[in-house]
Amino acid sequence: NEEEERTRMDRERLIDLNAKIENLSSQLDEAKRNTKSHSPQVIASLRQRTEQAESELQRATSERREEEQALIKRIALTLKVLQLQKECGERMARRQDAVDGVLDSSLSVLGEEKDGAAARHATERNMQGGIESFYAEEGRRIRELAAM
């Protein structure tokens, strides 16, 4: 936002300077045309005004160039920042993808371990039931033998 405001202000300043340059150029042209038909005092005055106008034109042109260079530098810096932000975002996305892959793999292994533990628990229960029925059967046989 602040960068956009500065850019807008710089553009307006450049427009103003260009308008001033055009005005001074037209004054200079007018002064050059008028020097051919006037007295030596008027010609000297016009020369002085022309020199002042040329000096002002040079100063305004130089100032405009400096402002354009500053604007170009700010734009280049902004582009570099945007490029770095894009690269950083891409690196973050790649890292996030890697983290997601590891997380998915971990969840898959955890699910497999959970299923394996449930199967082992079921097997243990079945074995426990078998052992209990075996002992119950053996106890019944021992009682039958003892009763004989």
Which whole number is the average pLDDT over 54-69? 92
pLDDT at 36 over 70: no
**pLDDT grade, residue 81 (50/70/90)?**
very high
Reported residue count of the chain is 148
Measured distance CA(113)–CA(119) in Å, rounded: 10
Q: Which is higher by pLDDT, 41 or 145?
A: 145
CA distances from 50 to 20, 46, 129 (A): 15, 6, 116
CA-atom Rg of the chain in angstroms: 47
- Is residue 142 within a helix (H) or strand (E), and if so which, with residue range? helix 40-147
Q: Give the per-residue pLDDT at 37.
A: 60
